[in-house]
Structure 1
Amino acid sequence: MPRTDSPTVVLVHGAFADASSYARVIPELLARGLEVVAPAVPNRSLLGDAAYIASIVRRIPGPVVLVGHSYGGAVITVAGVEDNVKALVYLAGYALQEGESLGELQGRFPDSDLAEALVYSPFPVEGAEPGTDVSVQVDRFPAIFAADVDPDLAAVLAVSQRPLAAQAFGEAAPAAAWKTKPSWGLVATSDHTINPEVERYGYQRAGMTTVEVDSSHLVMLAHPERVAELIDEAVRAVR
Structure 2
Amino acid sequence: MTDSGSPTVVLVHGAFADASSYARVIPELIARGLDVVAPAVPNRSLLGDADYIATLVRRIPGPVVLVGHSYGGAVITVAGAEDNVRALVYLAGYALEEGESLGELQGRFPDSDLAKALVYAPFPVEGSSTPGTDVSVEIDRFPAIFAADVDPRLASVLAVSQRPLAAQAFSEKAPVAAWKTKPSWGLVASSDHTINPDVERYGYRRAGMTTIEVDSSHLVMLAHPRRVTELIVEAVRATAR
TM range (shorter): over 0.9
SS of alignment partner, residue 51 of structure 1: helix
User: C-alpha separation between the residues in 2 aligned to 1:4 and 1:140?
Assistant: 45
- How is 1:78-97 mapped onto 2 (pairs within 5 angstroms)? 78-97=78-97
- Which residue of structure 1 lines up, in the alignment, with residue 10 of structure 2? 10
**What amino acid is aligned across from residue 77 of structure 2 in structure 1?**
T
User: C-alpha separation between the residues in 1 aligned to 2:111 and 2:6?
Assistant: 39
- Which residue of structure 2 lines up, in the alignment, with residue 179 of structure 1? 180
**What amino acid is aligned across from residue 145 of structure 2 in structure 1?**
I
- How is 1:30-109 mapped onto 2 (pairs within 5 angstroms)? 30-109=30-109
SS of alignment partner, residue 67 of structure 2: strand
Percent identical pairs in the alignment equals 87
8 Å contact kept, 2:3–2:62: no
User: C-alpha separation between the residues in 2 aligned to 1:61 and 1:158?
Assistant: 36
**What amino acid is aligned across from residue 25 of structure 1 in structure 2?**
V
Question: How much has 1:233 moved relative to structure 2?
Answer: 0.1
User: C-alpha separation between the residues in 2 aligned to 1:122 and 1:4?
Assistant: 46
User: C-alpha separation between the residues in 1 aligned to 2:125 and 2:63?
Assistant: 36
Could you tell me which runs of 5 or more consecutive residues in structure 2 were left unpaired when the two chains were aligned. Answer: none
- Which residue of structure 1 lines up, in the alignment, with residue 117 of structure 2? 117
TM superposition outliers: structure 1 runs of 4+ over 6 Å:
none
- Which residue of structure 2 lines up, in the alignment, with residue 231 of structure 1? 232
- Which residue of structure 2 lines up, in the alignment, with residue 203 of structure 1? 204
SS of alignment partner, residue 184 of structure 1: strand
8 Å contact kept, 2:78–2:176: yes
Question: How much has 1:127 moved relative to structure 2?
Answer: 2.1
- Which residue of structure 2 lines up, in the alignment, with residue 154 of structure 1? 155
Q: TM-score, normalized by length of structure 1? A: 0.99
Question: How much has 1:126 moved relative to structure 2?
Answer: 1.9
Question: How much has 1:3 moved relative to structure 2?
Answer: 9.9
Q: TM-score, normalized by length of structure 2? A: 0.98
What is the aligned residue count? 238
